[in-house]
A and B are shown apart, each in its own frame.
Chain A
Amino acid sequence: MNGTFLSIKDALPRRLVLIFALITLSVVLGVGWVLYSYQKGLLYQHSRSTSEDLAYALASSSTSWVLAHDVVGLQEVINSASHVNDLVFAAVITLDGNVLVSTRQSYNGKMLSDSVSRGLIGSAAKTQVLMDNPDLVDLAVPVLAKGKHIGWVRVEFQRDSINQSLRRVRTLGLIMAGLMCLGLFLVGRTLAQRLMSLSSISTAPSPVLERVDETQEEHGLLLSSLTHTIRPWLVWLEGIGIVGASWLVGQAVFLDWFHDSVGAIARGYWLYLLMSLGAIRFGYRGVVLLILLVGTQAYIGALEGKGFFADDLAKTGLQNYAFYMVVLFVVGMLVATFADDLRHKLQELMKLRNKERFAADLLSQMERTAHVGGWELDLRNMQLAWTPEVYRIHEEDPSHPPQLDKAINYYAPESRPIIQAAVERASQDGTPWDLELQLITAKNRRIWVRAQGKGTLQKGKVIRLNGAFQDISERKLFEQSLSRAAQYARSLLEASLDPMLTISAEGLITDVNHATEIATGLLRQQLIGSSFAEYFTDAERAKQVYREVFLNGKVVNSSLVLRGANGREIDVLYNASLYRDATQGVVGAFAIARDVTESKKVLKHLQQANADLESFSYSISHDLRTPLRAIDGFSRMLLEDYGAQLDDEGRRLLSVVRTNTDRMGRLIDDILHFSRAGRTAMNVNNVDMRDLVEVILEELQSDIELHAVKIDVAALPVIQGDRSLLHQVLTNLLSNAIKFSGKRAEPKIQVGCTQEFEQNVFFVRDNGVGFNMKYVDKLFGVFQRLHGINEFDGTGIGLAIAKRIVNRHGGRIWAEAVLEEGATFYFAIPKIIRTEML
């Protein structure tokens, strides 16, 4: 905006036009005078009198005066001339003095032998004035036919009536000149107005956003340059109008009434107009075409005395016509140049206007999409203007132009003073504002808007306020939901009892939760920005751990000791992972330090309990066995030393004592085995299971042979595990299988393995007595037996031990069976053994 371009009005002030017109007028008058003198000189050359003009004037004052080409035509001419008032005499005379036709019937067919006809012979094509009577004008006009002088027209007038004719002609000439002048002015004006209306598109008040302002400014500059180019042409146009008018006026005023001011000249000027139209419409080609046409016509007219220009030619001669055509051509070319240029400029202007319309459409679409509108307040007349979107935001009908106070009142009561203050301040010094305010629309809806504005200064005074206006309700709503989400996430973090923090790539703490404050005894603001490692007893290790996060993306269960409040040391398990922004760029590490002090305490208790259990089982192994041996030993000694004195019953009783001591010994052994299976440190190595099974089968060889058991061992993998513990498992399962299938006719045992994704599942299948699946839960309990002691030997510890060992490998043991048909024992050992057992 800021008035960067000029309107035509601005470019051509009325005063300037007037001055210019006056100057042009005086110049034209001067030129007109010179031309007139020149023409007059030409006339004097062949007539030495201005009376010739009068003849022309006479010709045009008659109803249908045309110079005829033959006798019949001439007769008509004379006949019509006879009706002219004040005509004294008119006749057509051949070169040799024969009167062909005359107003006086008596002259017809006679030879004139007076000085007139005689004197005229030999001076062809020259109008002559014969001055034999002072009251009359006696005129001899040459008659041309096909370019040949064939005779004369002799006319006599009353001198007074000629003067009257001249006055009439002058008045008529003035009126016609005025009309032409007016016409030319109108054409010029219309063009000027058209131009102005084109350029005025941009001067109309259009309150738009600043960025649109820039586009307009650009367009404005273009327009400005355009009007600068067009202006001289406009001046030209107006000048031509003035020149044309002045020419006519000059002709009418200065020319003697004998000159053909109306007939030929009027025709000539119409030809100028025709030429101008042709030039405007068809350009140079039009001009050339017209000149060719006119030239042909003129040439034919000159040769044959025919055509549109023939009579003019008859009067003025060919060389005058050539001059006339040169002028016509020059004018035509000038107009064509001007028209071409003007057309070009207009096209550019139209293009610009289309561009502007496109920009306006785009703006309107943008407005609608972005919910951004523009407004402008002209402080000089307090006119407020809104773009359509502003109306839409207000939910107001665009047919209601906004008033300033009404516009302010759309704001919610709490927002009103803020916007008022901003507008007032901007009105003073142009201070811009950018506010987020609440608005109550015409439909009584409460929305959020962003109101921006600034003042435009002119000569140190704010003359205009304008700015953007945006509906930001959606954004506000989104922001609110976002802040709620953030609040929710934050609350979760703060609710955690584990210290949580974020660390930058430099190892500085960027955020902490409340639990971190409690753990360290420091405030949030003290923690943030400090080095992460300094809160751990082993700072070096802490550094190493956080580096590992940035290196590997995460750290799982790394043990660290946090130096807590009051010097308390807190055992923590440190877990961390990287967190990234939307573009996957690493922002920092998110870390959780789980307080495992309690777990460690429990672990310690557990270890203590284990140690107690160990010493207990040690005592059992030592202390219980000794008296047992004594009972057994001494009952044997009794039997040996005094057996003879005992009867059978005495000896049987002693053997019951011994059987039970034996059984108790085995129970004690089993308890120790069981305890040892859970306690001894695991020694994980590669174990060839096939090899292991074969070793065990060798150990069990005597039992196998005893029961004639057929054993089928499939290919078994090499796995990770503790060989001696797995030895125990397989021994237990295989000896069970032998034991429970031993009573079958064809005892059969199958050992195999199925490989699964993460584990190997081994099985030992027999066709023995099986068991009822109802008791499957009891199978792996300590000292649980599903068969009577008389049926099958055993303490019921074997499977409990097997289960314990499998569990220690991180595996699982289970069984399937059908009573009296057989049982299958499965145990699964993971392919990778995790050795964080107690």
Chain B
Amino acid sequence: MNTLNRAPEVLLVEDNPTDAEMALRAFKKHKLANNVFWVKDGEEALDYLFCRGLYADRSFLDHPRVVLLDLRLPKVDGMEVLKAIRENERTKMLPVVVLTSSKEDRDVVESYQLGANSFISKPVEFDAFMETVAHLGMYWVFLNHPPTFA
């Protein structure tokens, strides 16, 4: 799941293990599984990104290329995580894709207002889900050119 020699390129913030497993299966299918780091709640996500707590020895320089963020999370929810990312000088330009079960307009609007780069609703249907996640990975890992962090 994680490698020591190479920093993960996707940070998956997902509390639901089945969703996470399906997402990872999709990444694996496209040989991206090694580049994915999975955290189970908002706090862990922030610890990881801000290199604190368990991840205190991480370097800010090893930032992921994209954060896939679920909105409904234990402890610190997705919106707060997004807000914290955008408020921090070091992470404010980090691409964040909201990946959630919600199709609520207000979630969409709020996410974009807080600076989300994309909003993806998780399809219920398995094939569509797999395809969506695969596309996401391909796009953000291979196609998208991220900003350079200080």
Contact = CB atoms under 8 A, between A and B. Distances in A.
Interface of A: 618, 621-623, 625-630, 632-637, 658, 661-662, 665, 668-669, 672, 676, 680
Q: What 10 A-B pairs have minimum CB-CB distances, sorted nearest first? A: A665-B124, A630-B18, A636-B126, A625-B101, A633-B126, A633-B22, A622-B101, A632-B126, A629-B124, A622-B102
B16 A626 contact: yes
A668 B105 CA distance: 16
A626 B101 contact: yes
Interface string B118-129: 000011111101
B124 A662 contact: yes
Interface string B64-81: 000000011000000000
A635 B103 CA distance: 24
B19 A629 contact: yes
A290 B124 CA distance: 147
Interface in B100-115: 100-105
Nearest to A672: B103
A625 B18 CA distance: 12
Nearest to A669: B103
Given A622-B72, A634-B18, A680-B105, A629 B126 contact: yes
26 contacts: A622-B71, A622-B101, A623-B72, A623-B101, A625-B124, A626-B19, A626-B101, A626-B122, A629-B18, A629-B122, A629-B125, A629-B126, A630-B18, A630-B22, A632-B125, A632-B126, A633-B22, A633-B130, A634-B18, A634-B22, A635-B126, A637-B126, A658-B126, A665-B124, A665-B125, A672-B103
Contact of B125 (A622, A626, A634, A662): A662
A625 B122 contact: yes
Contacts of B124: 625, 628-629, 632, 661-662, 665, 668
Interface in B4-43: 16, 18-19, 22, 25
Contacts of B125: 629, 632, 662, 665
Contacts of A633: 18, 22, 126, 129-130
Contacts of B129: 629, 633
A629 B71 CA distance: 17
B9 to A, nearest CB: 24
> Chain B, interface size: which category?
20 to 34
A630 B25 CA distance: 13
A621 B101 CA distance: 7
Given A630-B16, A634-B22, 15 more contacts: A618-B104, A623-B72, A626-B18, A628-B124, A629-B19, A629-B101, A629-B126, A629-B129, A630-B18, A630-B19, A635-B126, A661-B124, A662-B124, A662-B125, A672-B103
Contacts of A628: 124
A630 to B, nearest CB: 4
A634 B18 CA distance: 8
B21 to A, nearest CB: 8
A622 B100 contact: yes
A171 B104 CA distance: 153
A538 B60 CA distance: 58
Contacts of B104: 618, 621
B41 to A, nearest CB: 15
Interface of B: 16, 18-19, 22, 25, 71-72, 100-105, 122-127, 129-130
Contacts of A625: 101, 122, 124
Contacts of B105: 676, 680
A637 B101 contact: no
Contacts of B103: 621, 669, 672
A676 B16 CA distance: 26
Contacts of A661: 124
B102 A621 contact: yes
A637 B25 contact: yes
A150 B123 CA distance: 178
A626 B17 CA distance: 10
Nearest to B72: A622
Contacts of B123: 629
Give the most central of A625, A633, A634, A665: most B CB within 10 Å.
Answer: A633
Give the most central of A626, A627, A636: most B CB within 10 Å.
Answer: A626
A363 to B, nearest CB: 92
A636 B101 contact: no
Nearest to B124: A665
Nearest to A632: B126
Contacts of A668: 124
B18 A618 contact: no
Contacts of B22: 629-630, 633-634, 637
Nearest to A617: B104
Contacts of A618: 102, 104
Nearest to B22: A633
Contacts of A630: 16, 18-19, 22
Contacts of B18: 626-627, 629-630, 633-634
A623 B18 CA distance: 13
A628 B22 CA distance: 13
B139 to A, nearest CB: 21
A665 B124 CA distance: 7
A625 B103 CA distance: 11
Nearest to B29: A640
A634 to B, nearest CB: 7
A211 B22 CA distance: 114
Contacts of B71: 622
A630 B129 CA distance: 11
Nearest to B23: A633
Contacts of B126: 629, 632-633, 635-637, 658
A625 B22 CA distance: 14
Contacts of A637: 22, 25, 126
A630 B125 CA distance: 9
Contacts of B25: 637
A289 B100 CA distance: 143
A672 to B, nearest CB: 7
Contacts of A672: 103
Contacts of A635: 126
B30 to A, nearest CB: 15
A376 B143 CA distance: 125
A635 B122 CA distance: 17
B19 A636 contact: no
Contacts of B101: 621-623, 625-626, 629
Contacts of A662: 124-125
Nearest to B25: A637
Contacts of B122: 625-626, 629
A627 B124 CA distance: 9
A618 B71 CA distance: 12
Give the most central of A634, A635, A636, A680: most B CB within 10 Å.
Answer: A636
Contacts of B130: 633
Nearest to B16: A626
B119 to A, nearest CB: 14
Give the most central of A629, A665, A669: most B CB within 10 Å.
Answer: A629
A776 to B, nearest CB: 32
A618 to B, nearest CB: 6
Nearest to A680: B105
A678 to B, nearest CB: 14
A658 B104 CA distance: 25
A43 B100 CA distance: 169
A618 B105 CA distance: 11
A661 B25 CA distance: 20
A806 to B, nearest CB: 21
A623 B102 CA distance: 9
A500 B104 CA distance: 48
B14 to A, nearest CB: 10
A661 B16 CA distance: 18
A215 B103 CA distance: 100
B150 to A, nearest CB: 36
A770 to B, nearest CB: 33
Contacts of A665: 124-125
A753 to B, nearest CB: 30
Nearest to A621: B102
Contacts of B102: 618, 621-622
